[in-house]
Structure 1
Amino acid sequence: MDLEALNAISLQLRRDVVEMVYRTKDGHPGPSFSVADIITALYFEVMNIDSSNPDMIDRDRFVLSKGHSCPVLYAALARRGYFPVEDLYTLRYLHSKLQGHPYAPKTKGLDATTGSLGNGVSIGLGMALAARIQKQANLVYVVTGDGELGEGMIWEAAMAASHQKAANLTVFIDNNNYQSGGTVSEISGPYPIEDKWKAFGWHTQSIDGHDISQILHAVEKAKEERERPSAIICKTVKGNGVSFMVGENSWHKRVYTDEEYRIAMKELGGVV
């Protein structure tokens, strides 16, 4: 798929998030937007997956460690054909397959239940080591947040992954410099992020997390690694894509008014 098509998909996923949050009156649009381009690249170009055979043994695995960003992941799954797009509008409903954080037993296409921050890298490492033990060639991708790097479990997993030479594990860090309570720098900054991952023995890259061509190139470089797990630090902007959401932390979890909905859909190229 060419870059123009992938960029169009990233806009569609953002529109889906706006529609979901507007209709259901709940959800996390800001952090969904900051990872939308990463999710687009993985689900529509990079990963070996098949919606007609969601449990195939040799599929690549994906773990959304920052589980509150699940609206954009649900949108990607729907657009890849795992379930009808109309199901998106049951986000967070009681008994819905689309819960407020990813719950794998309910949702086709999910590889892991997440939302308790800090667990995703450990889960991904377990998947990567299991694949190696079983002599499977599948790759494992994890998306974690920069605020989430304050969780000690992430660094235990980072140390273990380096020791185990888990080269089939790639972690994307969504470096939007915000967590729910404010900027990461103000609260408990993990900077310099790349130096920390390097110190734990990882192959590291820093890229523009909204440039799909850079994301794809970084993935290819990660695939060339044979001895080290890879960390891709993605410089992103919370709320990227809609003018009144850009860098505005109140959109971490917030519902669109009628007017905000119309503006957001127009800016994202949608029909209102």
Structure 2
Amino acid sequence: MATDKEITARYEELAPHFPRWEKIKDLIDQLIDLMLNYRQSGHPGGSRSKVHALVVTLLSGVMRWDIRHPEKRFGDRFILIAGHTIPLIYAALAVLNEALRVKHQQTGDDKYLVPNPEERALYWEDLLEFRHNKGLSGHAEMEGKTLFLKFNTGPSGHGSPPAAGEALALKRAGAGQVRVFAFEGDAGLTPGGAHETKNSAWGLALDNLYYVVDWNDFGIDDHPLSTVVHGTPTDWFASYGWRVFSAE
């Protein structure tokens, strides 16, 4: 576990990149809006509220991954627990893949190429087919252009048990250094599967499972979550023995 000094040093090292990350966040936000408005379908709230957390996870170096080769066996795993917020991933992949495409056009360097891009790279053009027949699915699916995902998920809480299962399988296989990053919203923590996962993860000592919670005190309902559910994510996880870190 990193010390406070190491964390501070890493933060200072990354700080000069924050303005660029903010622009990437804006591009992802805009693509989410354009995609869903064009299709007149989808889940914008949970998708947009996770953008900051996703950008930091992907670009800070905390998650080891390769957008060109998501099949790498020792790459960290990403599970979108609530798969209906998949526009977040589609938009992020479109922005990052477009950057690679432009860079390849500028330099001619094949290191920027995604192998077999027609089948493996998600570009902004693909967003036009969101929730159309043979287009991008309305929920998270690990296939083709979205092999970045490591499980098929849909409703809230759906991906919690699989996230713990993958973390356990990696540890049992001797690959405990490979981490599983699981993204969920605060309202998605109410299903029973979320509670079972938190308890099982502690009991199985899954220190390679990272649960990233988007806490904005709102779900699909009009009322704030805090009016019907007591506490905060710190209360909800620390009570199960988890180490909890929060950020504004």
Decide: shared fold, TM above 0.5.
yes
Verify the 8 A CA contact 1:121 1:171 in the aligned structure 2: no
- The one-letter amino acid of 1:165's match is A
Query: Is the CA contact 2:93–2:123 (under 8 Å) kept in the aligned structure 1?
Result: no
Report whether the alignment pairs 1:91 with 2:130.
yes
Say which is worse superposed, 107-116 or 51-60, in terms of deviation: 107-116
Question: Does structure 1 residue 70 correspond to structure 2 residue 86?
Answer: yes
Number of residues paired by the alignment?
206
Among 165, 174, 184, which residue is 2:225 paired with?
Answer: 184
1:42 aligns to 2:57 (yes or no): yes
Q: Which residue of 2 is the match for residue 5 of structure 1?
A: 20
Shift of 1:3: 1.1
Tell me, what secondary structure is at the counterpart of 2:154? coil
Match of 1:18 among 33, 40, 56: 33
Cα distance change, pair 190–121 in 1 and its aligned pair in 2 (3 A) = farther
Match of 1:145 in 2: 185
C-alpha distance in 1 between matches for 2:232 and 2:25: 29
Give the Å deviation of 1:84: 2.0
Give me the whole-angstrom Cα distance separating, in 2, the residues matched to 1:174 and 1:123.
19
- 2:90 is paired with a residue of what secondary structure? helix
| Bigger strand share | 1
Output the aligned Cα RMSD: 1.6
- The alignment status of 1:129 with 2:144, answered yes or no, reads no
> Shift in Å at residue 190 of structure 1?
4.3
Partner residue in 1 for 2:194: 154
Task: Tell me by how many angstroms 1:13 deviates.
Answer: 0.5
Distance 1:202 1:77, change over 3 A: same
Q: Structure 1 pair 58/89, CA: closer, same or farther in 2 (3 Å)?
A: same
Per-residue deviation, residues 248-267 of structure 1 (Å, max 9, x unmatched): xxxxxxxxxxxxxxxxxxxx
Q: Where is the helix percentage greater, Structure 1 or Structure 2?
A: 2
Q: Counterpart of 1:28 in structure 2: which amino acid?
A: H
Write the distance in 1 (CA, Å) between the matches of 2:132 and 2:27. Answer: 22
Whether the 8 Å contact between 2:25 and 2:52 is mirrored in structure 1 is yes
Post-superposition offset of 1:43: 2.2
Answer yes or no: is 1:104 the counterpart of 2:178.
no
The 5-angstrom pairing of residues 238-253 of structure 1 reads none
- State the TM-score, normalized to the length of structure 2: 0.78
Aligned to 1:196: 236
Contact 1:118 1:148 in 2 (8 A): yes
Which structure is higher in RCO with an 8 Å CA cutoff and minimum separation 6?
1
Alpha-carbon separation, structure 2, partners of 1:156 and 1:90: 36
Q: Deviations over 1:138-168 (max 9, x none)?
A: 1111111111111111111101101111111
Structure 2 SS opposite 1:80: helix
Matches within 5 A, 1:161-180: 161-180=201-220
Q: Which runs of 5+ in 2 are unaligned?
A: 1-13, 98-120
Identity over the aligned pairs, expressed in percent?
28
**TM-score, normalising length: structure 1:** 0.71
